[in-house]
Chains A and B, each alone.
Chain A
């Protein structure tokens, strides 16, 4: 089944404790992206990647890091999480930068 997977689905952590949210796709897509979704603010792009080793900032990159060492994986790293990063996070992939994006199931992160 073609899909985007994310882990963990739910995470409660404390301020400053480094964490990684994994994202993997099995559709051989070139493009991958991370979004966060907050009430009243909608979906906002954090980082995206056009291909292996090529990443770029989205609209809200502060406090996040990403890497793309393999085509299928695009982890999101929060090196020192803060409460304002409490949010619902989605990973997405697409065949191209102009194409439709397919979303993972989401990760609900709470930072206390």
Chain B
């Protein structure tokens, strides 16, 4: 069973729409959860982290965590073409080990 799963996409949304990215994880003992954005050939850039159940908002981004259902999501409001990238979900399944999903490609069309 894969530890962190994401739909590879691409997820296509028009400019100004809400993009919804989802991630599931296998280990119920996971403590911390992260979303990274990665442009092609560049390094992952941290967007959000969340530790507790519920929602966490930062500007146009909202991270949602549901530990009972073992999923994490990222909502991007008012999507812009510059948001087009691969979004990586990462989970601390074990202390000192961050496990990444393979990423979801997001395409925002003008």
Q: Give residues 58-110 of B contacting A (CB, 8 Å).
A: 88, 90, 92, 95-103
| A-B CB contacts (within 8 Å), total count | 50
Contact of B103 with A100 in the complex, beta carbons under 8 Å = no
Contact partner of A106 (CB less than 8 A), chosen from B42, B88, B100, is B42
Contact of A40 with B46 in the complex, beta carbons under 8 Å = no
Contact of A99 with B45 in the complex, beta carbons under 8 Å = no
Instruction: List residues of chain A with CB within 8 A of the CB of B102.
Output: 40-42
Q: Which residue of B lies closest to A103 (CB)?
A: B43
Tell yes or no: B34 within 8 A of A by CB: yes
Please choose the segment from A13-21, A43-51, A74-82 that sits at the chain B interface, where 4 or more of its residues have CB less than 8 A away. Answer: A43-51
Binding site for B on A (CB under 8 A): 31, 33, 40-43, 45, 48, 50, 56, 58, 88, 90, 97-106
Binding site for A on B (CB under 8 A): 31-32, 34, 41-46, 49, 88, 90, 92, 95-103
The contact sample of 7 A-B pairs, CB cut-off 8 A, is: A42-B100, A42-B103, A45-B98, A98-B92, A100-B46, A106-B42, A106-B43
